[in-house]
């Protein structure tokens, strides 16, 4: 419906039609109802989905956990090699040419993801150049799993979106006030010298400078 509205608007702007049918009278459909609402995966649903990843669908479990815990896209996960997994530092290295934005980045490995990846590594030939999951697509297997879990409307993209949300929450929980101040400390240390060279600071800045310099954190 949104596309059709746009077509009529362009037609009016170019003088092809005189009236826009969508502007005549009350709308039959609320524009807010046209947009599909984002699906949220609950904790119970996550447990149900992982519970059915057994037997022929066991290979789905580490894939789903990686999507949930890292927010990685399917293409990024299926192109991962074992050389990209840094167990020692607990990070996954995602190369730029494997990302949608063509930017290299790193994501943290959670404890349950580390457990899944280590189990995969132990059962693999242990070749650093091999793909982590050894598959290019799990669409059919995932479709069967979500139906078996009673979640037929749970798209793969929702897992990635859920992963981003969980990562943000984890970051906010782990950040302490001292971590926020750490990048500011070198600036605070040099405040007195900078103040002598540049003149007096505003009252609020002076107050912050004095307090942080005195603490010598």
CATH dotted code for 43-174: 1.10.443.10
User: If you count DSSP H runs as helices and E runs as strands, how many of each does the chain have, helices first?
Assistant: 12, 3
Q: Give, in order, the Cα–Cα distances in Å from 25 to each of 20, 30, 206.
A: 11, 13, 62
Report the alpha-carbon distance of residue 217 to residue 180 in Å, rounded: 12
In the chain, % of residues over pLDDT 90: 39
The per-residue pLDDT for 198 is 40
> Which one is predicted more confidently, 72 or 19?
72
The kind and range of the H/E element at 94 are: strand 91-94
Reported pTM: 0.60
39: Cβ contacts below 8 Å, ≥ 6 apart: 153, 154, 155, 158
Q: What is the side-by-side order of every strand in the sheet holding 105-108?
A: 85-86, 91-94, 105-108
Phi-psi region of 167 (alpha: psi -120 to 50; beta: other; left: phi over 0): alpha
> What pLDDT does 145 receive?
94
Name the CA radius of gyration of the chain, rounded. Answer: 26
> Given this model, what pLDDT does residue 200 score?
43
Q: What is the mean pLDDT of residues 20-38?
A: 62
Report whether pLDDT(29) > 70: no
CA 36 – CA 157 distance, rounded (Å) = 14
Domain coordinates in residue numbering, the chain: 2-34, 43-174, 182-215
Q: What is the pLDDT of residues 125-175, one digit of tens each?
A: 999 999 999 988 898 999 999 999 999 988 877 777 665 555 544 444 444
Q: Quote the pLDDT of residue 14.
A: 80
d(CA 159, CA 165): 10
Q: Is 195 exposed, middle or buried (0-12, 13-18, 19+ CB in 10 A)?
A: middle
* pLDDT over threshold 60, residue 2: yes
């Amino acid at each position: 419906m949104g596309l059709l509205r746009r077509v009529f608007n362009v037609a009016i702007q170019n003088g092809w039609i005189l009236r826009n049918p969508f502007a005549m009278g009350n709308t039959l459909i609320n524009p807010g109802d046209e947009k599909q609402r984002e699906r949220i995966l609950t904790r119970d649903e996550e447990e149900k989905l992982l519970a059915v990843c057994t037997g022929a669908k066991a290979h789905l479990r580490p894939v789903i956990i990686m999507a949930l815990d890292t927010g990685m896209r399917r293409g990024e996960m299926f192109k991962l090699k074992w050389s990209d997994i840094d167990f020692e530092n607990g990070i996954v290295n995602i190369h730029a040419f494997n990302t949608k934005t063509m930017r290299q980045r790193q994501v943290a490995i959670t404890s349950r993801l580390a457990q899944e990846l280590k189990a995969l590594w132990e059962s693999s030939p242990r070749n650093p150049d091999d793909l982590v999951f050894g598959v290019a697509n799990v669409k059919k297997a995932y479709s069967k799993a979500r139906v078996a879990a009673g979640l037929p409307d749970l798209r793969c993209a929702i897992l990635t979106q859920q992963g981003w949300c969980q990562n943000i929450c984890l970051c906010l929980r782990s950040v302490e006030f001292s971590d926020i101040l750490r990048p500011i400390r070198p600036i605070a240390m040099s405040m007195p010298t900078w103040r002598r060279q540049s003149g007096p600071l505003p009252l609020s800045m002076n107050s912050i400078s004095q307090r942080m310099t005195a603490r010598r954190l």
